[in-house]
Amino acid sequence: MSGTSLDGVDVVLVDFQDSPPALLQTFFLPYDDELRRQLLELHQSGNDELHRAAILSNQLSQCYAQAVISLLEIANFIPERIIAIGCHGQTVRHCPEKEKGYTIQLVNSALLAELTGISVVSDFRSRDIAAGGQGAPLVPAFHQAVFMHADSPRVIVNIGGIANITRLNSRLPVMGFDSGPGNLIMDAWCLRHIGQHYDDNGHWAASGHVIATLLDTCMADPYFECNPPKSTGRDRFNLEWLEQKISGNELPEDVQATLLQLTVQSIAAAIIQFCPNTEEVYVCGGGAHNAALMRRLAGEMPGKKVEMTDRLGVAADWVEAFAFAWLGRRALLRETGNLASVTGAKGERILGAIYPA
């Protein structure tokens, strides 16, 4: 899995022979600054983007292959023991609206299969969009399979570049949607002003004060008023979006504090509105390691237990990669991977294209 945060590649080795499936090994390979820069540039229209996208797809596939091979070396596994790689690819455009109806995740799956000698399953989102869905989020089906509890209504919150929530309540249909920005605007603002890729533990944000008028302006974005199913990404929430809302006279740390509160408030508001009777909130993704964010999130939802998914047996950093291993296996078994109640698709579909080794 390589997500909206553009920090690198998460790889997991999963054994599905037992129930629940076992997470055997994990590995993280960070992107270098040049690859990250080129990927960010491709989020906007520009010169010769078809060529640049193809070249980046090859570079990413080499990066994915390196990550997979490193993982297998650490785990002392030979490639022949692996059934398949479930590869999400790197999203550079996500436009699920009916008048557009497409999503682009960069990866050369044929090259990845060639480099690793392992079959590859990729392009998970397109079939759901073809069926009238948002193509995202896809992880709620995995959350249901792994984290559902018959007696405890709970929500799983993934805070990556974008934040998404999954409602798991045995008395209600599974619901999942993107609540809004997670880390991506905070990370970009942090890089611009203090030269770091992220705000470690939210210390910089904690040094500032929330600008109430800016927070209100951000929360007034029409996206937050839309009912699920809905999904979003860098196409909507980015630095340019923020710059249209500030004067330039604000203290940078106050803007950071406001961005953190925006993430917290949009998540909490979505849970309160769409996930009634929730007792437990479990957080995964990079945002789970932001202590300031976790404290504020708990403060916005008094009476609800707020913890990391580690408590449920899957470490917060690896939930999404685990999910795409699960989705890859579903495709090989010709089993459906989406939830129509989540994405708004006309029905449940088999997701993914298979590239045999």
CATH 3.90.650.10 describes domain 8-134+319-355: no
Decide if pLDDT at 18 tops 90.
no
Can you tell me the mean pLDDT for 270-276? 94
If pLDDT is split at 50, 70 and 90, which confidence band does 180 have?
A: very high
Rg over alpha carbons for the chain, rounded to the nearest Å, is 19
Per CATH, the architecture of 140-316 is what? 2-Layer Sandwich (3.30)
Q: What is the pTM of this model?
A: 0.95
- What sections of 164-251 are H helices per DSSP? 184-194, 203-206, 212-219, 239-243
CA distances 138 to 14, 129, 231, 352, Å, are 18, 11, 10, 12
What pLDDT digit, counting tens, does each position of 41-50 carry?
A: 998 889 999 9
Task: CATH 3.30.420.40 in the chain: give the residue spans.
Answer: 8-134+319-355, 140-316
pLDDT at 348 (0 to 100): 97
pLDDT band at 40 (very low <50, low <70, confident <90, very high): very high
Residue pLDDT, tens place only, 84-111: 999 999 999 999 988 899 999 999 999 9
Q: Which two tokens stand for residue 21?
A: 């499936």
- Quickly state the pLDDT bin for 276 (edges 50, 70, 90): confident
Residues 1-30: what's their mean pLDDT?
95
Reported as a single tens digit per residue, the pLDDT across 248-264 is: 999 999 999 999 999 99
Q: Quick check: 176 pLDDT over 90?
A: yes
Nearest to 14 by CA among 88, 65, 68: 68
Query: Which residues in 152-208 belong to E strands, given as ranges?
Result: 154-159, 162-168, 175-181
At residue 98, the pLDDT reads 80
